[in-house]
Amino acid sequence: MGIGGGIVLIVIGAVLAFAVTDTVPGVDLTVVGYICLGAGFLALILAIILNAQRTHTSHREVIERHDQGPYPRG
């Protein structure tokens, strides 16, 4: 789940917590909305942290030549 998934969870949680007034027997939709909000914020923060770490990595390219023997000629 990346940044988009976190934003989707935040939107669904906000709608459930603040806009829905219906009741479902045995389920408190406000609490479900707050849980989705918390999970969305956590997913968003983790995605941003992992993205920031990914940009600070370095890559090294190793080129092997197979047209020469194991020892240089000389």
pLDDT classification of 18: cutoffs 50, 70, 90: very high
CB atoms within 10 A of CB 12: 16
Distances (CA, A) of 74 to 63, 64, 70, 71: 22, 20, 13, 9
Gap between the Cα atoms of 64 and 74, Å rounded? 20
Gap between the Cα atoms of 10 and 18, Å rounded? 12
Q: Tokens 């600070």 identify what position?
A: 56
Average pLDDT value over all residues in the chain: 87
Q: Is the pTM above the cut of 0.75?
A: no
Task: Evaluate whether residue 27 is within a structural domain.
Answer: yes
Task: Evaluate whether residue 63 is within a structural domain.
Answer: no
Give the total number of structural domains in the chain.
1
**% of the chain residues with pLDDT over 90:** 57
Task: Evaluate whether residue 74 is within a structural domain.
Answer: no
Query: What is the span of the domain harbouring residue 49?
Result: 3-53
